[in-house]
Structure 1
Amino acid sequence: MALYLLYESASGYSLFHAYGLDEIGQNTEAVKNSVLDLTRFGKTVKLEAFQPFSSALDALNQCNAVSEGIMTEELGNFLRVNLPKVKEGKKAKFSLGVAEPKVGSQIQEVLKIPCQCNEFVLELLRGVRLHFDRFIKDLKPADLEKAQLGLGHSYSRAKVKFNVNRVDNMVIQAIFLLDTLDKDINSFSMRVREWYSWHFPELVKIVNDNYLYAKIAKLVQNKSDLSEDHIPQLSDILGDEDKAKEIVEAAKASMGQELSPIDLINVQQFAQRVMDLSEYRRKLYEYLVTKMNDIAPNLTSLIGEIVGARLISHAGSLSNLAKCPASTLQILGAEKALFRALKTRGNTPKYGLIFHSSFIGRASARNKGRLARYLANKCSIASRIDCFSDTSTTAFGEKLREQVEERLDFYDKGIAPRKNIDVMKAALESVLQNDQEGDGKEMDVEQAGTDVPAKKSKKKKKKSKSEATDTESMAVDKSTDDFKTDASAEPSTEKKKKKKKHKSEQEQGTVTSDDAGDNSTAKKKKKKKNHEVSEDGDAEMASEVKKKKKKKAKNVDE
C-alpha cells in the first residue's frame, strides 16, 4: 500500500510520497538513521505537491485550524486534487500519514481517505521537516526561518486571549505576594521587637500589635526623652490614653540599656521599613479584593477573597479550577497528605485550602468533613458560573452562601434546607429581573418624550368611557381595550371615528351606529364571546316580538 505524508509548514501545505518502505520490516532505529542522511532519505521520499499560503493571516488561520483538529476547505481541496481518487464502494489503495490524529480522523470522515499516525509516520515527518528546504527549490532557509518566526509570534498572540477585566494571572501573583509579605512582615516585626527591647523591654508587654509597635518605636526613639508631653501623640497612635500613660510610666522605670544615636537611627529606619511594608500589604489586599470581584464574583461572595484566590492560584487558573470536580477541589492543597494516605492505606484528608473558610471553623468536629464536601460542591458550581458566564453577577454566589448557612443549621438544629433547584431558580429570576430593570431604565431614558403623550391619550379615552350616559357594559379584549367603544357613545367620539375610516376595521375595532341592524349583529357576536352584553329596552322588545311572530308562523304551518 502506498504511503503519502501530509506536512504542514509555516509557508504552506506539502504532500510527499513515500515508496519502497516496508513498515513491518523497518524498525524505528533504522528509520532514524535513514532520516539523518539526505541521500538515503531523498530516494524514499519525494515531493508530490506544494501549496503556499496566500498571506500571513491565511497561515495563522490554517495553523489554528490544524491545532484544533479541523480540516479547512483549502486543505480538503489540496488533498482532493493531489491524491489518487477513490472510487465509490471500493477501498483506497493508499494511506495518508498525518502528524495530528484529530485532523486525520476528520479527513477520513469527510474524504474517506484512510489516515495513520504512528511512530513510523512521525519519524518520516521529522525527516521531511529536517530537509524541507532542500525539497523545494525556490525556498531559501532564511525565508523559511522568517516565516516560522512570524507565524510563531502571531499564533502565540492569538492563543493568549487578553481580557483586562478577567485576568486571573493578576490574582495568582497578588496572592503569592500577599503570602510572602505576611511572612516578611512577621519576621521583620519580630526583629524590631528584639532589637528595640534592648533599649525599652517593657514596651513589648504593653503593645502587642506589630504595626503599632513599629510606629511607637519610631516615635519614642530614646526612652529617656519620653515625657508627659508625648501622651497625646501616643494616644493618637494607640487610641487609648491609659496605655499611653502606662508607656510613659514604664519608660521612667525601664531596665533597658542605653543605645548610641547611630543605633537608634538604624532602629528607627528599620521600623519605618516595617511600617511601609504593612501599608503596602493593606493596599495589595484592597487590590486583590477588587480583582477577585471582577474575575470570580460568585466564588468571592461564597468563600471570600483570600481563600478563593488561593484556590485559583493552586489550580493554575480559573478555567482549571472550573474543570476540577468537587472531590478534587475539596483536597486542593493537601496533595502530600493524600498521597501519603494512599501509600500507607490510611485515612484520606477531608479538606485542603477550604479549611481556612469560616464555614469549616463554625462546624462541629463531627460535621467538618461533611460540610467540607458540601462546600467544595458549591465552590465548584460558583467557579464554573464565573468562568463560563458572560455577565458578571454575585446573585448565584449569595444564594450558594445561603445554602451553606442552611446546611450548617441542618447539622446543628435539624432545620431542613431548601432544594438546590429552587435556590438556583430564585437566583436566575433575580438576575433576569435586574437585567429587565436595567433595560427598562434605558428605555425610559430613550423614550421619555414619547411615553408622556401616550399616557395622556389613554387617560382621555378612559374618561370618555366613564362619561358615557348609557347603562350598557361591554367586555372587551385586552389587545383592543383602548379602541373599542359602545354604540351609545357620545357624538364627539363618533366624529373622531368617522375621520379615521381609512384605517382597517381590525385596527380600529369600532362599531358605528349608522345601521341599527349592524349594531345588533355586533352586539350578538360580543354576547357569544364575552357572555356580558346588556341591550336596550327597545331592542329587547323587538326581539321578543320577532320570536312571537316566528312561533305563530310555525303553529299556522302545523
Structure 2
Amino acid sequence: MSAPIDYLLFEEATGYAVFKVKLQQDNIGAKLKEVQSQISDLGNFSKMVELVSFAPFKGAAQALENANEISEGLVSDYLKSVLELNIPKGSAKKQIVLGISDKNLGPSIKETFGYIDAVSNELVQDLLRGIRQHGDKLLKGLQEGDIERAQLGLGHAYSRAKVKFSVQKNDNHIIQAIALLDQLDKDINTFSMRVKEWYGWHFPELAKLVPDNYTFAKLVLFIKDKASLNDESLHELTALLNNDSGLAQTVIDNARISMGQDISEQDFDNLLVFAKRVVSLTDYRKSLYNYLEDKMHTVAPNLSELIGEVIGARLISHAGSLTNLSKQAASTVQILGAEKALFRALKTKGNTPKYGLIYHSSFIGRASSKNKGRISRYLANKCSIASRIDNYSDAPTNVFGQILKKQVEQRLNFYDTGAPTMKNSDAISEALALYNDLDVEMGDASDDEKEEDEKKEKKEKKEKKEKKEKKEKKEKKEKKEKKEKKEKKEKKEKKRKSDDDESPKKKKKSK
C-alpha cells in the first residue's frame, strides 16, 4: 500500500497553490461511483482538502517562464520559494508526500528538497481534478472567469513560444520552396507544350528550330504574326537566340515559306497573354531557385556543400524538418524517397532498394554500376553527419561539408584506383582547424570593426561637445547683449525721469 498523501501542488495559469490533504480516499474504492461523486460535490470535497497557500504570478511573463520550466521538468526559483514556505520540513525517516500532476517534475523536486517525495498516481490525479473543478471557490482572491482567461492567455503565449523558431534556422520555408519549385517545373512544362501546340497552327516550323520552352515563348511574344518578320528583325531576333545569327536567319527564312495558317487578331491576343504568363512563370522559377540556394546556404550549409541545394532541400522536405533528418540513421537517409519500393521488396521478399532521393546526386552518377550501392551508402553516411552538424551548430559554416565532400571524392577514387580514403578522425580534425582559422579571421575583422566603431563614437562625441560649447557660447553672448540692452534702456528711462522732474523747477525760476 502506498504512503498517504500529505500535500498537493496545484499548478495553475494564475499561480501555484498548495493544499493539505485532510481526508484521503481508499485506493481500493477510489473508482467507485459513490467515491467519484464526492469529488464532484464541493461540500464533500472541501472536507478532503484545505488550502494552505495560493501564490499568484506577478504577470503573464512570469507565468510563461514557470510554464516553460515545468514543461522541461525543472523547479523554478518561484516554485522553490513557494514549497519552502508552505511545506514543513520532514526528516530522512519520515518524508513528506507531495502529490503533483506532472511526473517529470518529481525527480527535480526530490533533488531540490531531500525530505519531499513527489508522487503522481491515479489518486493524486483525482484530487487535482476536484481542485480544478472547484478552483473558483477554493482559491481565494479569484473571481469567476479569471482562471479561464488566464489559461487562454498562457496557452496562446506558450504555443507561440514553442512554435517560434530562429529566423536564421527556419527550415519551413525550404520545405515550401522546394515543393513550389517541383510544382512550377510541372506547370511550366505543361503550359509550354500548350503554347507550342497553339502557336504551331500558325508557325509549325519554329518548334523544331527552337526546342527550348522559355526561348520559344519569348519568340512567340516577339514574332507574333510570322508575316511581320523581315531582314530588319534579324538583329533583335539574334539577341533573343543567344546571339546565334545563323539560327535567326533560318527562322526568318522559314517564316516566309511556312505552311501554317493565319490566325485572327482575337486569337492572337489570347495566345500572347498565355505566352506572357509562361515567360513570367519561368522568370519567377529562376528567382525562386536563387532564393532556395541562399536559404539552404543559411540553414544547412554543410548539407548543401556536400550533396547540392536541391537534393538537400528534398531530403529536408521528405524528412519533415532538418531536426527530423538529423535524427535519422544513415541507412534511413539512404532510402528516403524509395519507401514504396522498400515495402514492396519486403512484402515480396525481393531485393531492397539501394538509394532514394540521393540517386540524383552526381556522385552516384559517376560511380560504375557495381559500385552505385556502395557509394550511396557512404554518401548517406556523410549526409547524416552533415545534417547533424547543421542542425546543432550555432554559427552556419560550410567547412565540414567541404571536407565530407572531399572524403566522398576520395572514396570514388578508391573504387577506381585503390588509393586510401581519409579517416573520419583526420577529416574532422582538418575541418576543425579550418573552422578555427575562419573564427580567427572573423574575430580580427570584428576587432577592426570595433576599432572603427570606437573611432566613430569618439568623433561623434567630439562633434557633439563642440556643438554644445558653441551653443553655450552663443547663449552667453545673447544673454550678455540682452543685459546690456536692458541696462541702456533703464539708464535712458532714469535720465528722462530726471529731466521731467527738473523742467518745472526751471520754469519757476524763469518766472
Q: TM-score range by the shorter chain?
A: 0.7 to 0.9
Aligned with residue 336 of structure 1, among 332, 340, 346: 340
1:140 pairs with 2:140: no
1:350 counterpart SS class: coil
Q: 1:373 to 1:28 in 2, by over 3 A?
A: farther
Distance 2:214 2:37 in 1: 69
Which amino acid is 1:317 matched to? Answer: S
Q: 1:65 to 1:234 in 2, by over 3 A?
A: same
Matched, 1:190 2:160: no
Aligned to 1:159: 162
Query: In the aligned structure 1, how far is the partner of 2:154 from the partner of 2:428?
Result: 46
1:418 matched to which residue of 2?
422
- Relative distance call for 1:22 and 1:427 in structure 2 (3 A) is same
Q: When the two structures are aligned, how many residues end up with a matched partner?
A: 446
- Mapped contact 2:30–2:36 kept (Cα < 8 A): no
Partner SS state of residue 370, structure 2 = helix
Greater shift, 411-420 or 311-320, is seen at 311-320
Alignment partner of 1:408 out of 405, 412, 427: 412
8 Å CA contact 1:31, 1:124 repeated in 2: no
Distance 2:28 2:213 in 1: 74
Q: Which residue of 1 aligns with 2:108?
A: 106
Please tell me whether the aligned partners of residues 54 and 140 of structure 2 are also in contact (alpha carbons under 8 angstroms).
no
Query: 1:345 & 1:113 partners in 2: Cα distance?
Result: 57
Determine which of 245, 270, 273 is the counterpart of 1:269. 273
Within 5 A, what are the aligned runs for 1:120-135? Answer: 120-135=123-138
TM-fit CA distance, 1:429: 1.4
Moved more, 52-61 or 301-310: 52-61
Cα separation, partners in 2 of 1:96 and 1:336, compared to 1, 3 Å = farther
1:96 counterpart residue number: 98
How far apart are 1:362 and its partner, in Å?
A: 1.4
CA distance in 2, matches of 1:137, 1:441: 60
Instruction: Find the aligned partners of 2:179 and 2:185 in 1 and give their Cα distance.
Output: 10
The answer to whether the aligner puts 1:310 opposite 2:344 as a matched pair is no
Shift of 1:139: 0.8
Over residues 485-505 of structure 1, what are the superposed CA-to-partner deviations in whole Å (9 max), with x where a residue is unaligned?
A: xxxxxxxxxxxxxxxxxxxxx
Q: Where do residues 137-536 of structure 1 align in structure 2 (5 Å cutoff)?
A: 137-160=140-163, 162-239=165-242, 240-440=244-444
Higher deviation after alignment, 230-239 or 26-35: 26-35
Residues in 2 aligned to 1:155 and 1:75: alpha-carbon distance in whole angstroms? 18
Q: 1:87 to 1:434 in 2, by over 3 A?
A: closer
- In structure 2, which of residues 50, 53, 56 is the aligned counterpart of residue 49 of structure 1? 53
Between the two proteins, what is the percent identity of the paired residues?
52
TM-score (norm 2): 0.79
SS at match of 1:51: strand
Secondary structure at the residue paired with 1:258? Answer: coil
Call closer, same or farther: CA 1:28–1:199 in 2, change over 3 Å.
farther
Query: In structure 2, what is the Cα distance between the partners aligned to 1:126 and 1:362?
Result: 65
Q: Does the C-alpha gap of structure 1 residues 254 and 131 become closer, same or farther in structure 2, counting only changes over 3 Å?
A: farther
SS at match of 2:116: coil
Residue in 2 that maps onto 1:86: 90
C-alpha contact (below 8 Å) 2:10/2:16 kept by paired residues: yes
Change (3 A) 1:109 1:437: closer
Structure 1 pair 229/52, CA: closer, same or farther in 2 (3 Å)? Answer: same
The answer on whether the counterparts of 1:171 and 1:288 sit within 8 Å (CA) in structure 2 is yes
Deviation at 1:193, TM superposition (A): 1.6
Partner of 1:26: 30
SS of the residue corresponding to residue 15 of structure 1 reads: strand
Contact 1:31 1:123 in 2 (8 A): no
On the 8 A contact 2:241/2:248 being kept in 1, the answer is: yes
Task: Quote the Cα distance in structure 1 between the aligned partners of 2:305 and 2:278.
Answer: 32
Structure 1 residue 403 displacement after superposition:
0.4
Look up the match of 2:472: none
For residues 343 and 99 of structure 1, the distance between their equivalents in structure 2, rounded to whole angstroms, comes to: 45
Shift of 1:37: 5.4
State the shift of 1:294 in Å: 1.5
RMSD of aligned Cα (Å) = 2.8
Query: Does residue 12 of structure 2 align to residue 12 of structure 1?
Result: no
The whole-number CA distance in structure 2 between the counterparts of 1:136 and 1:173 is 48
Please report how far the alpha carbon of residue 363 of structure 1 lies from its aligned counterpart in structure 2 after TM superposition.
Answer: 1.5
**Stretch moving more, 22-31 or 11-20:** 22-31
Aligned to 2:489: none
CA separation in 2, counterparts of 1:73 and 1:442? 38
Structure 1: gaps (5+ residues): 449-558
**Higher RCO (Cα < 8 Å, 6 or more apart):** 2
Q: Distance in 1 between matches of 2:32 and 2:178?
A: 48
Deviation at 1:68, TM superposition (A): 0.7
Q: Deviations over 1:177-201 (max 9, x none)?
A: 2122112211211221222222222
* 1:466-497 Cα shifts (integer Å, max 9, x gaps): xxxxxxxxxxxxxxxxxxxxxxxxxxxxxxxx
SS at match of 2:67: helix
Q: Tell me the distance in 2 between the aligned counterparts of 1:249 and 1:421.
A: 66
Looking at structure 1, the residues matched to 282 and 77 of structure 2 have their Cα atoms a distance apart, in angstroms, of 60
Counterpart AA for 2:306 = L
Q: What SS class does the counterpart of residue 165 from structure 1 fall into? A: coil
Q: Tell me: CA distance 1:238–1:345, structure 2 relative to 1, closer, same or farther (3 Å).
A: same
Return the offset for 1:383.
Answer: 1.7
Alpha carbons 1:107, 1:113 under 8 Å: kept: yes
1:261 positional shift: 0.7
CA distance in 2 between partners of 1:119 and 1:255 (Å): 86
Distance verdict in 2 for CA 1:29–1:235, change over 3 Å? farther
Q: 1:350 to 1:31 in 2, by over 3 A?
A: farther
Q: How far, CA to CA, are the matches of 2:99 and 2:205 in structure 1?
A: 81
How far residue 376 of structure 1 moved from its aligned partner, in angstroms, is: 1.3
Aligned residue in 2 for 1:551: none
Show CA shifts across 1:497-527 (max 9, x none).
Answer: xxxxxxxxxxxxxxxxxxxxxxxxxxxxxxx
Supply the distance in 2 between the matched residues of 1:446 and 1:49 (Cα, whole angstroms).
53
Deviation at 1:314, TM superposition (A): 2.3
| Aligned-pair CA distance for 1:232 | 2.4
Q: How far off is 1:316 after superposition?
A: 2.6
Match of 1:504 in 2: none
Deviations 1:255-281 (A, max 9, x none): 333221111111101000000011011
Distance in 2 of aligned mates of 1:290 and 1:228: 44
